[in-house]
Amino acid sequence: MAIIFSAVTLIQKIVESNRGLRKQLTDILEKITSINIESEKAKANSVGFPANYQGLLNDQQRFFVRQAAYLAK
């Protein structure tokens, strides 16, 4: 009985872990999409944005892409 309980608990932990990873990956992809939209807005309307704004957005995007690739592994 204890072996069955341990197996069920292990399976639940694995499923919860996978759900957590999927949620993190979804959140990161949402952030990448937001950065892409913000980047296009900055390109279309350069007034009111700092000179290095596009570079900052690119840095954020690279970070999130690396994080997404890590989670996808």
Residue 64 in any domain: the answer is yes
Q: Is residue 11 part of a domain?
A: no
* 6, part of any domain: no
What is the distance between the alpha carbons of residues 24 and 70, in angstroms, rounded to a whole number? Answer: 11
Q: What does the pLDDT read at residue 69? A: 92
Question: In whole angstroms, how large is the CA radius of gyration of the chain?
Answer: 20
Is residue 1 included in any domain, yes or no? no
Q: Is 67 left (phi over 0), alpha (psi -120 to 50) or beta?
A: alpha
Given this model, what pLDDT does residue 73 score? 83
Give pLDDT tens digits along the chain (73 positions).
788 888 889 999 999 999 999 999 999 999 999 999 999 888 888 777 888 888 999 999 999 999 999 988 8
Range of the domain at 60: 21-72
* 31 is a domain residue: yes
pTM of the model: 0.74
The answer to the question of residue 47 being in a domain is: yes
Number of domains in the chain: 1
> Is the residue at 46 inside a domain?
yes
What does pLDDT average to over the chain? 90
3-state secondary structure of 48: coil
In this predicted structure, what is the pLDDT of residue 44?
84
